Structure 1
C-alpha cells in the first residue's frame, strides 16, 4: 500500500480573537483533514513563531502582520495565502507578488452582509423610517406623515451607486426586485456592462443631482480620496440620503457635517473619516444622520460564511485546483 500523501503545513496568522470567532473547534476538524496545522498556534506577529520555514499555506484574517521581505525570508516554503476576511491590502505587500504567492480572499462572502445593510438603508431612507420613528416616539401619537415627508416611499425612486465593486454588484442584485430607477457611476465600466447589471451608467455629478439615495461602494485609492467633497455634496438634491458602507475617506467629513447640519440632506454612515469620529462631532446627535460603528460587514453568525469560503479555498489548493476567489496584483490596484 502506498503511503498517504503528506498534508501541506499551514499556520493561522491573525488576531487571536478573530481565530477564535472564525475557526472554533467545530470547524477545525474539517481543516485538519487537509492540512497539517496546530489549531492552538496563532501568529499575531511572526516573532518567535516555531516552524515558519515549513509553512506552505497561511490562513490569514484581520490582524495579520504585513508579509514583507523579512517575514517571507523566514518562510521559504510559503506558496499560498488564504484570507478569511475582505481586503488583503493590510498584509499583502509587493514582496508577496514578487515571490509569486497565490492569494485568495473571502471578500465575496463578506460583501453579502454589507449589501444587505445597504439595501435596508436604502429602503428605510426612502420611507423615512428613522425620522418618523423619532417623531412618533416624541409625540406619542399620530401625525400627518405625508405632510411632514412629501413623496414618502420607495416606488419609482432613483438610487445611485458609486462603484461596481463586489458589494456594489451585490447591491445591484438585491435592488432588482424593487421598483427603482438605478444609476451607476464607475469609470471602469461601459454602458453595456452597466445595463447587464440592471443599471444605467451616468457621470458621478449627474447621478448626485438626480438621485434620492446615493450609496458609495468605491475603493479607497488616491484618486477617490474625498471623492465627495464640498462641491459634489452640494449637488445632492434637497432631502437626498447619502449611504456610506465603503470607506470613510470617500467623503470630506467636514463638508458632510456642514451639509447635514443644514438639514438639507440625510446620511447613513457605517464608516467615517476618522474612524471613530471625535466625541464632539455633531454627526452623533443630528436627527438626519444615522451612525453605526462599522457593523455592515460580517459579524456574529455571518462569520460562518467567511469561514466556509476560506475552508473551500484551502481544499481547492490541496486538491491542486485554482482558487475560486483569487486576488491578482493588477486587480488590487483598483479594489478595496
Structure 2
C-alpha cells in the first residue's frame, strides 16, 4: 500500500502530522519529490497555474485522496479524467472564509468611498473632498451563499444595511434569513445597490453575469467579484463600465492574470486586485490545521471533511 503524501508546505512546519505516512515536499517544481505512482495523498500546490497542479495526476495511479488548498476546485475538475475512479476530491472550506470576506468588504468600501481616486489625488498632491456613497442604508445581494458568502454577511452586519439578500444554487434557510435559489435573481437584481459574487465556478455559474444579468442591475450599482473570473462575461461588463452605468471591484478576472493592455485596466469605474482573496497571514495556520485533520482522518479511516466529489461516482 502506498504511503507517500505530497505536501506543498514543508513537513517540518507541521506540528502533529500522523505517523505511518511518508511526507514529501512538492510545491509545483519541475522535479517531483518521488514517484507519483507511490503517492497516496496529493495536497495540491497553492497559487500555481492549472497546468502545474494537474501535471502529476496521470501518473498518480494509486492516489487515494486529493486535497486542494483552495475553496474552488474547478482546476481539478477540469482534469478529472486523469484521476482514477474512487478518489475523493476535497476543498479547503474553513481556510479562506476570513480573508476572502475581508477583501470583499474592503473592495466594497473602497469602491463606494472612492479610495482609488483619493490615492491618485494623493500622488498629484491634490486635495479632493466631496460627498461619496456610504455602505450604510444600501441593499446588498450576495450571489453564492456558501461558507464564504456567509462570512461576508457576518462582516456586513455592523454596517447598518437596508437589506441583505442571499442567493445560492438551491433555496434553503440560514441563520440570518432565507437563501433564495438562482432562479430568483431576475427579481432581486433591480433592488440591489451592491452585488457580491462569491459563488464557485461550475457549469451553471460560468458566464452567469452576462449582458442580461448586468442589464437588470440598477443604475449606479456596484458589482464585486471575489469568486472566479469566468463567472462574469468580461465583454458584457466592459460595455456597462464604459457607459458609466455600473461600477465594479474585481479580485478575479477573465482572462487571468489580466494582461497588459487589456481594456479592463483603463475602463472607468473599476477597482482591480490581483486575486488576493486567500493569500494572507490567515492562510497558513488554517491550511496546516485542515491538512493535519484530513490526514488523521485518512489514517484512521474516518470520514473526510469537505468532500466535493468522488471520481467515477454517479452521485456527483
CA change 1:40–1:124 in 2 (3 A) is closer
**What is residue 116 of structure 2 aligned with on the other side?**
130
Q: Secondary structure of 2:308's partner?
A: coil
**What is residue 165 of structure 2 aligned with on the other side?**
183
**What is residue 248 of structure 1 aligned with on the other side?**
229
**What is residue 82 of structure 1 aligned with on the other side?**
67
From 222, 231, 246, the counterpart of 2:212: 231
Could you give the per-residue CA deviations for residues 269-307 of structure 1, whole angstroms, max 9, x where no partner exists?
111111123422232124521111111122455233212
Question: Greater CA radius of gyration, 1 or 2?
Answer: 1
Distance 1:163 1:110 in 2: 15
Distance 1:48 1:131 in 2: 48
Structure 2: give runs of 5+ residues left out of the alignment.
47-51
Distance 1:137 1:206 in 2: 42
From 250, 256, 259, the counterpart of 2:240: 259
CA change 1:262–1:8 in 2 (3 A) is same
Distance 1:319 1:198 in 2: 38
**What is residue 9 of structure 1 aligned with on the other side?**
3
CA change 1:142–1:67 in 2 (3 A) is closer
**What is residue 10 of structure 2 aligned with on the other side?**
23
From 37, 40, 58, the counterpart of 2:42: 58
Offset at residue 213 of structure 1 (A)? 0.8
**What is residue 116 of structure 1 aligned with on the other side?**
102
Distance 2:268 2:67 in 1: 42
Distance 2:123 2:75 in 1: 43
Q: Secondary structure of 1:112's partner?
A: helix
Distance 2:229 2:205 in 1: 11
**What is residue 283 of structure 1 aligned with on the other side?**
264
Offset at residue 117 of structure 1 (A)? 0.6
From 150, 154, 157, the counterpart of 1:169: 150
Aligned-pair RMSD on alpha carbons?
3.4
Offset at residue 241 of structure 1 (A)? 0.9
CA change 1:292–1:250 in 2 (3 A) is same
Q: Secondary structure of 2:95's partner?
A: helix
Point out the structure with the larger helix share.
1
Distance 1:324 1:85 in 2: 14
Does the alignment pair 1:307 with 2:293? Answer: no
Does the alignment pair 1:320 with 2:305? Answer: no
Q: Is the 8 A contact 1:67 1:96 kept in 2?
A: no
Q: Is the 8 A contact 1:11 1:43 kept in 2?
A: no
Offset at residue 72 of structure 1 (A)? 4.6
From 113, 127, 136, the counterpart of 1:141: 127
Offset at residue 134 of structure 1 (A)? 4.0
Larger mean CA deviation between 208-217 and 34-43 belongs to: 34-43
Q: Secondary structure of 1:90's partner?
A: helix
CA change 1:102–1:234 in 2 (3 A) is closer
Offset at residue 159 of structure 1 (A)? 0.6
Q: TM-score, normalised by structure 1?
A: 0.76
Could you give the per-residue CA deviations for residues 14-70 of structure 1, whole angstroms, max 9, x where no partner exists?
xxxxx2xx336332x533x524324356776898943834x43333334432676x5
